[in-house]
Amino acid sequence: MNLKTAYGPYFKIGAAISKHNLNTKSNMELLLSQFNSFTCENNMKPSFFLDEEKNLANPLKYDTASALTFENARPFLDFARSNHISMRGHTLVWHNQTPRWFFCRNYDEHAGLADRETMIARLENYIRGVLVFVKNEYPGIIYAWDVVNEAVDEGMLRKSMWTETIGVDYVEKAFEFARKYAEPGTELYYNDYETAQAWKRDFIITNILEPLKERGLVDGMGMQSHLLMNHPCLTDYRTALEMYGALGLKINVTELDIHNNNPGDESMQALAKRYKELFEMLLNVKKSGQADITSVTFWNLLDENSWLTGFRRENSYPLLFWKECEPKPAYFAVLDATRII
Ligand code: GLA
């Protein structure tokens, strides 16, 4: 048995991969044997598509339509096409991993911020450039895009270079442009972390998802799901799933991992138990029709490559595989979860 077969009747199962993973044969064998979806961990973010050299060398020429480079994304898209595996696109608009010069007049960091009209044009042309590239050259591969990532903070719209230049309607504009240029059938997602927390959940529903849904601009809610061993509680997670689901949107779990700093047996059994309870709940919600979960993606393949070790400043063992692509107790627990009636 493997993950993609066990979960086939319910939702796609994916993993994020880096360039290092892509170039490591054993990692790609693991991906193809267990998963039917993947996300580029970094290489399809704005800082990888925006061609710094060209834009900075010729700012007047590229002022409202930034030069893009597709060379970072191509190896991933080529891999997906030759191996018949689907991808999630991540992410078109984010306050991170987007160069500061992109927001500045003449792409000059000392010249102050570009005006609203210029930034709206840059936003539209960036989204058009990326989406038309994948639509024309790699049709049918990307089934979902995270259009906007992490726009909410502290119960309000996060202050960022996007709100500073365009204003609070940048989110709506991003979705308008994404809908305009995406290949028909590609699903558009709003993606964020801590989405089971009431303060964040309620703000996202009222201020982002409902207005976008009304205009037919959003298809799904992305719950990143960087979890801890004791947070959030699964009851809160389930409530959030049901509330997003009640809007009639699809749900993707987009960046799943569970931070755990102890690789000992007992601790890895505890991780397995938490994963099992989580997946039993996901299956339960899906089967009962309370939330249409269509894809669940782990944030990398192997513990050794997880971002959490850097982020948490301590070793982390948060995933289903480690070492030489060996399955951990958590892997068997996630498989086991499909046995619930
Ligand atoms: C956020 C982003 C991801 C990734 C993680 C850290 O969750 O959405 O793309 O950068 O942070 O790895």
Q: What is the pLDDT of residues 114-139, one digit of tens each?
A: 999 999 999 999 999 999 999 999 99
The answer for residues whose C-beta is within 8 angstroms of residue 208's C-beta and 6 or more apart is: 151, 152, 171, 190
The answer for residues whose C-beta is within 8 angstroms of residue 136's C-beta and 6 or more apart is: none
Distance 225 CA to ligand 1 centre (A): 11
Q: How much is the mean pLDDT over the chain?
A: 98
69: nearest Cα among 45, 41, 40, 93: 45
Report percent pLDDT > 70 for the chain: 99
Tell me: the pLDDT tens digits for 197-233? 999 999 999 999 999 999 999 999 999 999 999 999 9
Residue closest via CA to ligand 1's atom 5 equals 307
Tell me: the pLDDT tens digits for 5-20? 999 999 999 999 999 9
**Mean pLDDT, rounded, for 295-300:** 99
Cβ neighbourhood burial of 64 (10 Å; 0-12, 13-18, 19+): middle
The dihedral built from the CA positions of residue 91, 93, 99 and 101, taken in this order, carries a sign that is positive
What is the C-alpha separation between 93 and 154, in angstroms, rounded?
A: 19
What is the C-alpha separation between 19 and 53, in angstroms, rounded?
A: 22
Q: Judge if the beta carbon of residue 149 lies within 6 A of ligand 1.
A: yes
Q: Pocket of ligand 1, candidates 192, 255, 298, 301: which has the most ligand atoms within 8 Å of its Cβ, to mutate? A: 255
Tell me: the pLDDT tens digits for 234-270? 999 999 999 999 999 999 999 999 999 999 999 999 9
Q: How far is CA 112 from the centre of its chain?
A: 31
For the question of whether the overall pTM of this predicted structure is more than 0.85, the answer is: yes
Q: Is the pLDDT of residue 341 over 90?
A: no
Tell me: the pLDDT tens digits for 47-95? 999 999 999 999 999 999 999 999 999 999 999 999 999 999 999 999 9
223: nearest Cα among 290, 282, 280, 175: 282
314 is catalytic: no
What is the C-alpha separation between 297 and 306, in angstroms, rounded?
A: 13
| Confidence at 166, pLDDT banded by 50, 70, 90 | very high
**Residue among 41, 150, 176, 187 flagged as catalytic:** 150
Q: Is the pLDDT of residue 41 over 80?
A: yes
- DSSP assignment letter at 226: E
Q: Give pLDDT, residue 154.
A: 82
By the 8 A CB rule, do 118 and 64 touch?
yes
261-280 exposure pattern, b = at least 16 Cβ within 10 A, e = fewer: eeeeeeebebbbebbbebbb
**Mean pLDDT, rounded, for 34-45:** 98
**Mean pLDDT, rounded, for 321-330:** 98
Residue pointed to by tokens 């580029």: 40
101: nearest Cα among 169, 51, 167, 166: 51
150 is catalytic: yes
User: Alpha helix locations (H) across the chain?
Assistant: 3-6, 19-22, 25-34, 46-49, 52-57, 74-83, 116-137, 161-165, 170-181, 198-203, 210-214, 234-246, 265-287, 308-311, 329-336
φ/ψ bin of 67: left (φ > 0), alpha (ψ from -120 to 50), beta (otherwise): beta
Q: Is the pLDDT of residue 340 over 90?
A: no
Point out the ligand 1 atom lying closest to the alpha carbon of residue 299: 12
Cβ neighbourhood burial of 172 (10 Å; 0-12, 13-18, 19+): middle
| Tokens coding 75 | 């190896």
Q: Judge if the beta carbon of residue 307 lies within 6 A of ligand 1.
A: yes
Q: Give pLDDT, residue 155.
A: 81
Q: Is the pLDDT of residue 46 over 70?
A: yes
**Residue among 176, 187, 255, 280 flagged as catalytic:** 255
Q: Give pLDDT, residue 275.
A: 98
